[in-house]
Structure 1
Amino acid sequence: MLEALIGILLMAAIGLGLTYAASRAAVAQRYTNTQNIVVSAIREQLVSMANLSAKCGNTIQVSVAANKNINFTVNCDPVSIAGKTIKVLSSIENVPDDDSRELLGGDGKIVISATE
């Protein structure tokens, strides 16, 4: 009887461990899906921008869910090539707020290479 009880306890511990691992994988998958949606939306906005220099230093807004928007700051660096200076998109950083922490799993920096 005692052996059966110990066996059941071991099986319960293994089951709890598997449940915990599955839940952690589901959370990671949720963040990955949300991050993919955000990166795709940022790429779409960057492609559709007629004048990138107008967005430098400003924020762009990405809609992720029905009432959830994430704001990103566009950073550009000037680069001189053969005496001509152009602005090169160096990074896009999300503005730290509750929505970005909840949807993306924290504050982060997305680096995208592009030229005007």
Structure 2
Amino acid sequence: MKLLLDTCVWGGAAKILSEAGHDVRWMGEMEPDPGDETVLRSAYEEGRILITLDKDFGELAIVYGRPHSGILRLVNLPGRRQGSYCLTVLERFASELSQGAILTVTADRVRIRPAD
């Protein structure tokens, strides 16, 4: 899958996801941070699922109707575990994400908001 990791996602997750065969870009390699609107637009234009810790992307997508290619939001997950959680969620919910769903993931729950 094509993925765009927000700056707030642990950089090591990019390596884990790449090694698993995903096409990954990590915004943490960009200076300065381009801002949420630009990150979401870049993910959409490149057909990438956005992985973030930031709830503002859901607001941009739902409240303001910004287009996206799927959003995976990680909540309260330790940095070093973010990559492994992403791998599990991407495998299990690939279909929903590829259809533009927004997933909110905690250590014990996945909430799915299907694409409209």
Report the structure number with the largest CA radius of gyration. Answer: 1
Q: Same fold (TM over 0.5)?
A: no
Q: Which of the pair is proportionally richer in strand?
A: 1
Q: Which of the pair is proportionally richer in helix?
A: 1
Higher RCO (C-alpha 8 Å, min separation 6): 2
TM-score by length of 2: 0.26
TM-score by length of 1: 0.26
